[in-house]
Each structure stands twice: as C-alpha cells, then as structure tokens.
Structure 1
Amino acid sequence: MKLSMALASALAAGLLITSPVRAADITSPMAPELKQTEGEGWTFAVSPYFWAAGMSGDTGLFGLPTVHLDMDFSDILNELDFAAMAIGEARYDRYSIFTDIMYTKISSGSGTPRGIIADHVGVTSETFAGLVGAGYSVLQDDRGNLDLVAGARVWHASTEISFSGGILDGVSREDSATWVDGLAGVRAKYSITDKVYFTGWGLVGAGGADLDWDVAGGIGYEFNDRFSAVAGYRALGVDYSSDGFVMDVVQQGPIFGVVMHF
C-alpha cells in the first residue's frame, strides 16, 4: 500500500504520462522533433508519442512525511489506467508555435490487515502537464535548424484516497496542486542522410516549482514527406512543494513517436 500511495503521489504531481508513463507525468515542448518542409506559408505537424519512463525522487501528500520513490516503468504500468501524450507544431519560415500535452491516470488499492478501520483503501491519481511555447531559428539551412524556444508549462496533479468498510467506510480525502513554470532553451534537428536525422532539445525554468527541466535526444527516420518515426531517450525533472504537497522527482526512459506532417 505504501508503494501504491507513493506511486500515486508522484504521478499526481504532474509528470509524466499519457502514453504510458508516470505522473508527472509530465513535458517538454517538442517530443519528438517535427520535420520541416520546404515551401511557402504555414506547415503543421502532430506527433502522438509513448514514453516508457521510470521515476525516482521524493513525494508527499496531506502534509505527511515525504516518501522516497525508486520505480521502473513496469512498476508504474501495473497500476496505470490511462495515459496519453501528443505534441503539435505550426511553423512559418523561422518562426514556430508548439504545444506538448501529457495526461495520466493511475489507481491502486489493497485490503487492510484487520479490517477494523477499513476493509479496503483505494488511491486514484491524475496528472496533467501542458506546455505552450514559441521558437525562432537562429540557424537554418537545408539540412537542419537550431531554434531558441520559450514557453510556459501548466501542471495539475490530484490524488484521492478512499476507504470502504470498517470505521472509515465511505470516507475519502483529496490533495491536489496546480502551478505554472516558465521555460526556455533550445531544440535542434540535423539531417544525417536524406532519410535519417538527429533531433534533440533542452529546456530549463522555474515558477511555481523551484526547478523544472527537460532534455532529450533521438534519431528519426522519414518514410515519406508525410510520415516519420523517432526513437530516443528523455529525462524530465521537477521540484515542487507547497502546503504539504511535495513533488521532487526525475523521470527518464526511452521515448518513441510517430510524426505526421501536413
């Protein structure tokens, strides 16, 4: 039960997932990198992605002492109800507008040893992280680009603990937090061949959290002008605490995505 509540707490703090990953589940302004297309006017790209992230760090709810977490992705996946992640970008010449959305919901429960205070305790956690930003290419040619980017990420995490049976039958308690962080950094793409390209990004900032950062790198393959795929590695960290709600965690793991251009 301690593990379930700890997992729920961490996920709730906003991290990580929505394709499977964990609370915090979570975001970066561009996972995976979106391919540029030649031509005049606006171009657009959408990329649903999957992040198989584990989590380590400290979390706390209801003002109770913090709990240290050290979980791999399989631990998180066992209690995951739903997860979804997607990113979109609109680009015009050197200018770009992008968004990265992550949502996850996990639940767990267990019986109590004696069943006096309660027969069963359930924990449900939901986490949303949404990033909106803009970028400008300071370097750009036919093989790639280097963009300076800035934006804001909104986090919302909530965890509900409910009791059934025993003295606490029907009792439930919820703890939640919402905050906004400003982020700035770079992202880049470089075509190694006509089909294979490297992509990566790095962001850091703060606001409601003392620290919010996100880095990743990956290799992409272009099947045609409309579709490509990216595989790489991503790490994201957030250090937030307020009114007894604590989330000081790092999430990291492989990331996979399909990019659709139009």
Structure 2
Amino acid sequence: MKRFRLAALGAAGASALCTFNAFAADPTKQQDEGWTITVAPYLWASGINGESGLFGFPPQDVDVSFNDVLQHLKFGFMGTSEARNGRFTISTDIVYARLNADIGTPRGILASNVDASVSTFMGTALGGYSVYYQDGTTFDVVAGARLWSADNRFEFHGGALDGTSASDGDTWVDPVIGAKFKANVGNGIYLAGWGLVGGFGAGSKSMWDVMAGAGYQFSEKTSMFVGYRAVHDNYSHDGFVNKVTQQGPMLGLTYQFSIAQ
C-alpha cells in the first residue's frame, strides 16, 4: 500500500540527512590548546529496504531509491558537531525532514485522493574517550543515545471519508555504544569510520550503524570527506513497525576552529 511506502520514504529522508563527526581535521594538533570545534554539513544518498507498517496493518515490503526520496522531500535540516578537548569528545547530530505526497485511489469510493505528510526527527548525542591518541591518529570509544521520532498524517478528500484525517507514528530512544577512528595517511589525506550498535530492547530491538571512507584536508580549518554508510533499525510498537536498512554513499564538508584555554 502506498501509505506504507510513504512511511519508508520518511525514514529514508531523515537518514539521508544524518551522520556523525568523522570528518574532523587532525585532532591531535590541538591537544594542548583547549577545545576544538568541528561542524560538518553533508549528504547521504541512501536508499531503503525492509518492512514498514502503520495502524496495525501487516508490515509491507519496501524498496525505495534515493531518487524517490528526493521527489517527495519538501524540507530538510541537519547539523552535526563535535567538541574535543584532548582525549575527550562530545558530539551531537540533529536531523529533521518532511515529505509530502498526493496519493490517488483506485476507485475513489472511500476517497478520491489522500494528502500524506511524513515528518521524521533523529537526534544523537555521544560522549567519547580516545584510547589511542597520537601521530594524527585517534581511536575513540563512544556511548550515548539516539532519539527517533516519526509522524505520519493522512487527509482524505472526496468519497465516504471526505474531510477526515488519520495519523500514526512513534517516538523512541536507543542507547548507543561503539567506536570511531581517524588516521592521517599523508599529503592531506585521512581515513575515518565508525561502528555503532544500540537499542538492546530498550527502544529498538536492535540497531547498528557503520561507515568507512576517506577525506582530504584543504586547509587547517576545512576538509572534504567521501564514504559509504549503512544503518539498520528494528523497531515495532503498538502497530507501528520500522524494520529497515538504509545504505548509500555520502559526501561531507567540514569546518574546524579552536577555543584556546
């Protein structure tokens, strides 16, 4: 059913705007200079496949490309940041996306068309500690939480349901643990990645998030990063089901500045 497809698009749209902070410039250069702040806008060109369900109906298979997401995306906002002081880091990521679609009906008995709107939010906060921290290379262990929220609204026009509306969605929090790394390889090039797991039944039944890629340092403050990311989430509650995997290439730009002690 198309409403299940739209719900999947919403999840993909949100995730297409979501990442962490592996794009930083060399963090070990500022270990004696107070806080180093990194901000990074980026794009994750992800598709989505899995199962999605609303209103207690049996979950439907979904297979949505990144082009499908772009066709329905009306508004999106994301921002990620990291604050580092020596071996200690604090990172945040905030994502919001809204998708809209006008869904036609086969016979128009219950409704001639349905206006559908999907709003999704993902916010992540992590604290980290570098267990390896020298020569332009860091290996961090991290822990924190990821907040998910999805709101699916449908307005019916024409037919027996003319003027009525329905909505379904949920909000949940996943505890998250994992590791991140970054390694300078010379000539301004660096490698970076992360692996995260979460949920553990507290929010999602299970969740994982992995990424690997490479970047190029244009200057002391700016760099570009390319990589590949895959995220899986398995959540269900009271008829709402989100059991999907999203994956695709990503491209990011970073800006870094220091706050001296």
Aligned length: 252
Q: Does 1:198 align with 2:191?
A: yes
Match of 1:82 among 51, 69, 75: 75
Change (3 A) 1:23 1:41: closer
Q: Secondary structure at the match of 1:249?
A: strand
CA contact (8 A) 1:10 1:23 kept: no
Partner residue in 2 for 1:134:
127
Q: Secondary structure at the match of 2:40?
A: strand
Q: Does 1:60 align with 2:61?
A: no
Deviation at residue 26 of structure 1 after TM alignment: 7.4
Sequence identity percentage: 42
Taking the aligned partners of 2:71 and 2:22, their CA distance within structure 1 comes to 25
Superimposed CA distance per residue, residues 176-219 of structure 1 (whole angstroms, 9 cap, x where no aligned partner): 10000001110000001140000000000112100111100111
Match of 1:159 among 134, 152, 164: 152
CA contact (8 A) 1:11 1:127 kept: no
Q: Bigger shift: 95-104 or 245-254?
A: 95-104
Instruction: Name the amino acid aligned to 1:226.
Output: K
Superimposed CA distance per residue, residues 76-106 of structure 1 (whole angstroms, 9 cap, x where no aligned partner): 2211112222210000000000011222111
Change (3 A) 1:24 1:61: farther
Deviation at residue 113 of structure 1 after TM alignment: 3.3
Instruction: Name the amino acid aligned to 1:10.
Output: A
Partner residue in 1 for 2:253:
258
Partner residue in 1 for 2:85:
92
Q: Secondary structure at the match of 1:192?
A: strand
Taking the aligned partners of 2:48 and 2:54, their CA distance within structure 1 comes to 17
Structure 1 residue runs without a partner (length 5+):
17-21
Q: Does 1:221 align with 2:216?
A: yes
Deviation at residue 34 of structure 1 after TM alignment: 1.7
Q: Secondary structure at the match of 1:157?
A: strand
Partner residue in 2 for 1:19:
none
Match of 2:138 among 145, 155, 158: 145
CA contact (8 A) 2:18 2:78 kept: no
Taking the aligned partners of 2:61 and 2:153, their CA distance within structure 1 comes to 19
CA contact (8 A) 1:32 1:259 kept: no
Across the aligned residues of Structure 1 and Structure 2, the Cα RMSD in angstroms comes to 1.6
Superimposed CA distance per residue, residues 109-162 of structure 1 (whole angstroms, 9 cap, x where no aligned partner): 133233332121121111101000100000011221000001100000010111
Provide the TM-score with structure 2 as the length reference.
0.92
Partner residue in 2 for 1:34:
24
Q: Secondary structure at the match of 1:115?
A: coil
Superimposed CA distance per residue, residues 6-61 of structure 1 (whole angstroms, 9 cap, x where no aligned partner): 2322244xx44xxxxx2456755x24432224241111010011110000000000
Instruction: Name the amino acid aligned to 1:43.
Output: T
Taking the aligned partners of 1:243 and 1:63, their CA distance within structure 2 comes to 7
Q: Does 1:115 align with 2:108?
A: yes
Structure 2 residue runs without a partner (length 5+):
none
Partner residue in 1 for 2:225:
230
Taking the aligned partners of 1:199 and 1:10, their CA distance within structure 2 comes to 29
Q: Does 1:9 align with 2:7?
A: yes
